[in-house]
Amino acid sequence: MKIICIGRNYVNHAKEMNSPVPKQPLIFMKPDTATLVNRKPFFYPEFTENLHHEAEVVLKVCKNGKHIEQQFAHKYYDQLTLGLDLTARDVQARCKEKGHPWEIAKAFDGSAVLGEFIAAADFKADNIGFHLTKNGNTVQQGNTKDLIFSFDYLISYVSKYFKLHIGDLIFTGTPEGVGPLQIGDELEGFIGERKLLECRIK
């Protein structure tokens, strides 16, 4: 199983990071050891002093495919959830500055927090509202209508480079409002009004 992540897929997030809006999807990966499921706590790692939350809609691939055409892409995922692309922002800044790969900032153990998966058929792909709360306060709010690259475009684009396998996950990008986490924070992630994700930072 692989975890494919899309960077800067919402204009306002690219702006808050002072990053250019990409012309093609920006792709990176996390290993399967990054997954954190079943409401398990996340242990704040010793290598960062600026751990950030990035709330994202996550798609679960249900069909193997390569060179998938956009018009058929919707058949390649059948479940979705809210996930967190946890990021060591200070480590990432150092990687970016040196032009180095950023896996140590984004693909470490537990950095792909996953909520409970639900049927994708219950949603219109281009109008999914979601939000993340920290200690009861909303910190990120987004809607997939604001995606730069749609789910279908992403699946088509990604599958030109990487064969998709059943069970692969696609983190589709975070909206604005990313921010720091502290030990003791309680995170809850929602799609619509439905709470799918809970994670405590320990």
The contact set with Mg ion (CB under 5 A) reads 54, 85, 174
Q: Are 10 and 176 in contact (CB under 8 A)?
A: yes
Instruction: Please list, residue by residue across 28-57, b when 16 or more beta carbons sit within 10 angstroms of its beta carbon and e when fewer do.
Output: bebeeebbbeeeeebebeeebeebbbbbbb
Nearer to Mg ion, 68 or 105 (CB): 105
Q: What is d(CA 116, CA 43) in angstroms, rounded to the nearest whole number?
A: 20
Report the candidate in 187, 16, 168 with the shortest Cα–Cα distance to residue 77.
168
Nearer to Mg ion, 140 or 156 (CB): 140
Nearer to Mg ion, 18 or 71 (CB): 18
Determine how many CB atoms are found less than 10 A away from the CB of residue 1: 12
Nearer to Mg ion, 68 or 112 (CB): 112
Nearer to Mg ion, 17 or 118 (CB): 17
Strand partners, 30: 3
User: Would you list the DSSP string of 102-141?
Assistant: -HHHHSSTT-EEE---EEGGGS-TT--EEEEEETTEEEEE
We find the least distance from the C-beta atom of residue 110 to Mg ion, in angstroms, to be 15
Q: Closest CB to Mg ion belongs to which residue?
A: 85
We find the least distance from the C-beta atom of residue 67 to Mg ion, in angstroms, to be 25
We find the least distance from the C-beta atom of residue 196 to Mg ion, in angstroms, to be 17
We find the least distance from the C-beta atom of residue 84 to Mg ion, in angstroms, to be 9
Nearer to Mg ion, 54 or 185 (CB): 54
Q: What is d(CA 65, CA 63) in angstroms, rounded to the nearest whole number?
A: 6
We find the least distance from the C-beta atom of residue 17 to Mg ion, in angstroms, to be 10
Assigned token pair, 165: 């396998």
We find the least distance from the C-beta atom of residue 176 to Mg ion, in angstroms, to be 12
DSSP classification of residue 47:
T
